[in-house]
Amino acid sequence: MPFKLKVLIFWLSSTIFGVFLLSVFTDSVHPPAQSLRASETFLSEDNLTLIHRLNCSVEPLLSPKHNLSKEAFKWWKQLQLERRSFVTYKAAVEKLFQIFPTGPDLPKPCSDTTKTCSVVGNSVNLKRSHYGPLIDSQDIVIRINAAPIKSYEVDVGTKTTYHVMYPESARDLDNSTHLVLFPFKIQDLEWLVKAFTTGFYGMSYVRVKSKIKANKDLVMVVNPAFMRYVHAVWLGNRGGYPSTGFMALILALHICNEVHVFGYGADSEGNWSHYWETLANKNLKTGLHAGQHEYAVIERLADEKAIVFYKGWAFPLTV
């Protein structure tokens, strides 16, 4: 065999073998492409820790003194295709504070007073977790949407300080729990007033409670400007808008010095499944929300020791 041909064969063999080794090595040291997609863009945005995004000047709750900017209103009204005007919004807010407290009982944002929070999501990964006592051991416990407690106490605890919801996810509360409304449209503000007075009989995309049992003196309403801040600053405007669970977590960062996070993450098929039910539609994934990106933010905050993140024991999580 000619010498030049031998050299060519040797060079090709070496190159192929080298490429093979490189592919094996890179597969072993990098996570799968799917997990990278959730965070690679986000993680490359800046070199600062994520907790630097916490802006203590943003008021989490609505009050009669707060003047929502027209720019923020324009963003907010697109969330669920609100067609009514800024004037109508202001009238609804004015009526709201004729019934509910004007000075919300919420710890001062980013204060030096040491408070610990449990933020309890609704993921199926809470099943068999036995996190109940740990959840209840924190000063403040925040629960989200329908979130039943009865029959699930060992995994989710029994204590509730703030229960965040919107009309379509509303549930009755005991007399000591704060109802925290996340409003996505003007009708949500109107629902809150009517649910405590005459009863609500309007239409929504699902049936809503006409009346609600809760302590009206403990009612709070989240500021639409806070919702916009979470979407823009914490999620980089990804997804239609932030999930209620993600906004509750950022709210906890504003009011507590130490935040413990439970019950977040999708099931093994990538769906947001609840701990109390069997999911019927397995094609929903995370809906309109940037579920993968929200989860990447939570993991990054945990890596930075800004939160303590408990992932549950039901199965290996996916996002």
- Residue 296 sits at φ, ψ, to 5 deg, of -65, -40
The residues that bridge with 220 in the sheet, in sequence order, are 180
Question: Which member of 89, 162, 229, 241 is catalytic?
Answer: 241
| Cα 129 to Cα 141: distance, rounded to the nearest angstrom | 17
Question: Which member of 162, 289, 293, 310 is catalytic?
Answer: 289
| Cα 296 to Cα 42: distance, rounded to the nearest angstrom | 8
Cβ-proximal residues to 102 (8 Å cutoff; 6+ apart), any chain:
63, 64
| Nearest to 117, CA basis, from 254, 297, 226, 243 | 254
* Active-site residue, 289 included: yes
| Cα 182 to Cα 61: distance, rounded to the nearest angstrom | 10
Q: Which bin fits 128, alpha (ψ -120 to 50), beta or left (φ > 0)?
A: left
Catalytic positions are 241, 289
